[in-house]
A and B are shown apart, each in its own frame.
Chain A
Amino acid sequence: MEKIGLYLGCNIPLKAPDIEQSIRQILPPLGVEPVDLEGAACCPAWGTAPSFDLDTWCAVSSRNITLAEEQGLDIMTGCNSCFGVLSEAKHFMEDGERRRTVNQKLAKINRSFEGTSDIYHIAHVLHKKVGMEKIREGLKFDLGGLKIAVQTGCHSLWPSDVYAVKEENPYQPTILKDLCEATGAEVPHYSRLGACCGMGGMRSTDMEKSLKLFKEKLVSIKEETDADMIVTTCSSCFLQFDMSQPILRERGEIDFEPLPTFYYTQLLALAMGCDPSQVAALSQIDRSAIIARIQDEQRLIKEVA
């Protein structure tokens, strides 16, 4: 079984521990053993060190990366922000001058950044290391007939130059589409696929602007795809879709019921037959109906059943 360092971040374990559960449950059957990076600190998140001091950012990120380096492991994270922060820090550390400066700081805690660990998003691990075929083999339920609108999230796309795994065209990402289609579901295109969901700094500083942007995206999904659900590989996008749809509905700004939203590993865990009370338990939007449809007996795949 291939071992990979699991960098959890804060959003997933604190706000969506069921996503963490889904990650932990699906990986071993797919041949990947997540290894906890004990002692991991904040990545550090956008708006903290990355906003004011590049060396501090790189020092904190590099310390996290060395936790994997010392075990000879690559790093995997489910959070787009962590993925972006760690990847960009690693990119900055390719500059010799920066690496010397940061390693002087790390020397005080007897650490040294070597650059030997690659940074992966869990979607990349599933897409490139596990592969579609293995995912299909691991399914218990076939999601044929269900329609999914995908939301990749910005920080696993941009800036594309610094990422170990790149989309062929970041404006038209396909990794998450492939992953969802592997479950048998249909993933129609919608025009605002590449648009921002309005989460992150915008939501904390200008809620109305954030909702305006989010609504444009949501309406494009509803009108153009009439999807049964939204699936994302970004834990922040997940929170925005789950929190903000009920707000728009309550204000009467949308005339349709909020679309149930899953993090991708939750969808996969459900399709693999995991217990929804463990892997998809927490959401503002009621997901019981769509979960029942996903795990409908009629969807059972015979060979597995």
Chain B
Amino acid sequence: MAKVGVYVCHCGSNIAGVIDVSAVRDYAETLPDVVIARKDLFMCSDSGQEMVKQDVRDGLVDRVVVAACTPRTHEPIFRAAIEKAGLNKYLFEMANIRDQASWVHGHDHEGATEKAKLVVASAVGKARHLEPLEDKFVDVTDAALVIGGGIGGISAALELANMGHKTFLVEKTPSIGGVMAQLDKTFPTNDCSACILTPMMVDAYNHPNIETLTYSEVDDVSGYIGNFSVKIRRKQAYVDWDKCTGCGDCAAKCPAKTPDEFNAGLSDRRAAFIMFPQAVPKKAVIDMDACINCGGREIGSEPKLNKKTGAPILAPCEKACPADAINRSLPLDPGGRIKEVEVGSIVVATGYQVMDKGWFKEMAPDSPNVITALQLERIISATGPTEGKLLRPSDNQKPKTITFVSCMGSRDANFHTYCSRFCCMYMIKQARLLKEKYPELVINMHFIDVRTAGKDYDEYYTGARRMGINFFKGKVGGLEMLPEDKLRVLAYDMESAESIEYASDLVVLATAVELPEDAQGLAQKLGLQFCGSNFFRELHPKLGPVETSTEGLFLAGCCQGPKDIPDTVSQAKGAAAAAAVPLAQGRVKIEPIISEIIPENCSGCGICVPLCPYDAIAMSEWAGTARAAIEMSACKGCGVCTSACPSGAIVLHGYEEDQIFAQIAALTSGGRNHAG
């Protein structure tokens, strides 16, 4: 006979504010095999845990049910407690009377109390049938993968590498650096973005423990925490990077033009190009989508020979390269090549994109003088298309009036309801930098609210007001195109409660931060989930901000939600620390709540094999006949195979048939079935 102890938690007022905890405790006492029922203000507190431990130590109970909150956060705590007291930790069951009763039935105290009793009865029903289980362990590959080479990915990679772990840093563009490399200066200290970032890029690239793979994308991920196999596609650069010295001669000779992504489309780059002057690694790439094949021969075909001299007629890029790194006659695979790596944990730091101005039809998107804030960043950057001079795109003239519009696509039910968090600060930064450089420039900034929460941020904002920058509270309804490529700003000023109109030479839209389109594909490969704002979902919004629901997979930076550089670096270092845990331990625990095949009962039909979402089941031989076999380390315990097996030959430990039937019996009998 099992000796079940039931412990009901008040959770302060979270549960006790709705549910009559004493009534639930009294009821629990009447349930079969329950030998003790107690309650406490906070069961997870030291005294609460001690109460359970003491009962175990005293031999009073050998099965424990805690009626409290969610097992997602608290099951591990109580399992650890009873284990310490000497009981197998899987002889524990949690009854969630907070999420499933007090929180959802706050309006109906009596009903919630009755439901809590049922939930407890169900947990007790299961607890009576619990069997001890043993944790299993597998060895870990001591290496990490960081996806995304922006400031988040670089920070995480450096952190992991400095802890002594081999780290692969994968970046889809030809250089690491990310959006931060495109920025001019950074708030709230106005230090030059390149000056603080470039040394970190070089450190990461030269770190003995980091293998930087740029112009590469993750093609496929399989495996589990401790043992991921990753296929990385190294895209075809059409330049031999072992030879390329980054001189840029190929770009100088290339006649094909295409919009320069690094300058946010404000200028053109060549098809053969180096991403930006401080690129790391500084290597050239030929963008075949933009290449006009000016040499007139297919890639992979031999050059024609000069009829007089017999010398091969090379394409301009081939001819220009002093290092002999470009050879268009090689049969290069346009798909690049696959590099396979084994890692123990993965940090995803894939960053963000800003919305295109084309979404905002009321904002005269056809006007060249309506730009996104990232484009302004390039204009004011010394490495940008105007070498840092404020010139408007339509005529390269210096504007006299410039307008900033906040919350374009953020806090807007038509696009994204969330706040993009760092736009207020970067707009103020841009305005301050411009006002310092051009005191006569009229700067009008339109905000719904100015949000400058952060260390030294509000001082930065009030400083901007003192500099003579104009702040308007209220929305900009639209822009109208005036002669000479000016724009009429139609806005509302809440302070004067009036509509205002004025002509502006340049309008900057702070467009919303969102996940890049290709993030969807990556999420599928990695098994990442999305949150309501369509960023990658963390395990817990407060207590698991860098973890995901897949063990061994961690998040850093804007892919998890909009955040500025300080927050991104903090989260990246946190993610790196979390990712290092399994690597440092050298082995990871496999929870025994997984499926197992009873080979005597298996008919070898194979139905379960394709059903497994984790590819954990394969056919093998047992006693000379075909039988399904489950790879323990790949099984996640989802139970799909267990419920599908026509022979009932698959047991899901922790959710065995008699346990589940006992739960159902308790629920369907209104909790009164004391026989089960």
Give me the interface of A with B, judged by CB distance under 8 Å: 169-172, 189, 191-195, 224
Residue numbers in A under 8 Å from B480 (CB-CB): 191-195
Residue numbers in A under 8 Å from B482 (CB-CB): 191, 224
Residue numbers in B under 8 Å from A195 (CB-CB): 480
The answer for the CA separation of A171 and B366 in the assembled complex, in Å, is 11
Chain B residue with Cβ nearest A188:
B483
Residue numbers in B under 8 Å from A171 (CB-CB): 361-362, 364, 478
Q: How close is A67's CB to chain B, nearest CB, in angstroms?
A: 35
The answer for the CA separation of A163 and B365 in the assembled complex, in Å, is 23
21 contacts between A and B (CB under 8 A): A169-B361, A169-B365, A169-B366, A171-B361, A171-B478, A172-B361, A172-B364, A172-B366, A189-B481, A191-B480, A191-B481, A191-B482, A191-B483, A191-B488, A192-B480, A193-B480, A194-B478, A194-B480, A195-B480, A224-B482, A224-B483
Q: How close is B364's CB to chain A, nearest CB, in angstroms?
A: 7
The answer for the CA separation of A171 and B481 in the assembled complex, in Å, is 11
Question: From residue 473 to 490 of chain B, which have CB atoms closer than 8 A to chain A?
Answer: 478, 480-483, 488
Chain A residue with Cβ nearest B363:
A171
- Given A171-B478, A193-B480, A195-B480, 5 extra CB contacts under 8 A: A169-B361, A169-B365, A170-B361, A191-B482, A194-B478
Interface residues on B, range: 10 to 19
Residue numbers in B under 8 Å from A189 (CB-CB): 481
Residue numbers in A under 8 Å from B361 (CB-CB): 169-172
The answer for the CA separation of A66 and B362 in the assembled complex, in Å, is 36
Residue numbers in B under 8 Å from A169 (CB-CB): 361, 365-366
Chain A residue with Cβ nearest B487:
A191
Q: Interface readout for B357-390 with A: 1 if CB under 8 Å, 0 if not?
A: 0000110111000000000000000000000000
A-B contact count (CB 8 A): 24
Q: How close is B358's CB to chain A, nearest CB, in angstroms?
A: 9
The answer for the CA separation of A203 and B483 in the assembled complex, in Å, is 29
The answer for the CA separation of A216 and B366 in the assembled complex, in Å, is 23
Q: How close is B539's CB to chain A, nearest CB, in angstroms?
A: 39
The answer for the CA separation of A192 and B488 in the assembled complex, in Å, is 9
Residue numbers in A under 8 Å from B366 (CB-CB): 169, 172
The answer for the CA separation of A189 and B365 in the assembled complex, in Å, is 15
Q: Interface readout for B478-517 with A: 1 if CB under 8 Å, 0 if not?
A: 1011110000100000000000000000000000000000
Q: Interface readout for B58-99 with A: 1 if CB under 8 Å, 0 if not?
A: 000000000000000000000000000000000000000000
Residue numbers in A under 8 Å from B488 (CB-CB): 191
Question: From residue 598 to 623 of chain B, which have CB atoms closer than 8 A to chain A?
Answer: none
Residue numbers in A under 8 Å from B365 (CB-CB): 169
- Nearest 10 Cβ contacts at the A-B interface: A191-B480, A169-B361, A191-B482, A171-B362, A171-B361, A191-B488, A224-B483, A191-B481, A192-B480, A189-B481
Residue numbers in B under 8 Å from A172 (CB-CB): 361, 364, 366
Q: How close is A171's CB to chain B, nearest CB, in angstroms?
A: 5
Q: How close is A303's CB to chain B, nearest CB, in angstroms?
A: 36
Residue numbers in B under 8 Å from A170 (CB-CB): 361
Q: How close is B397's CB to chain A, nearest CB, in angstroms?
A: 19
Residue numbers in B under 8 Å from A193 (CB-CB): 480
Chain A residue with Cβ nearest B479:
A171
Residue numbers in A under 8 Å from B362 (CB-CB): 171
Chain B residue with Cβ nearest A170:
B361
Residue numbers in B under 8 Å from A194 (CB-CB): 478, 480
Chain B residue with Cβ nearest A192:
B480
Chain A residue with Cβ nearest B361:
A169
Chain A residue with Cβ nearest B503:
A191
Q: Interface readout for B604-648 with A: 1 if CB under 8 Å, 0 if not?
A: 000000000000000000000000000000000000000000000
Residue numbers in A under 8 Å from B364 (CB-CB): 171-172
Chain B residue with Cβ nearest A168:
B361
Q: How close is B547's CB to chain A, nearest CB, in angstroms?
A: 41
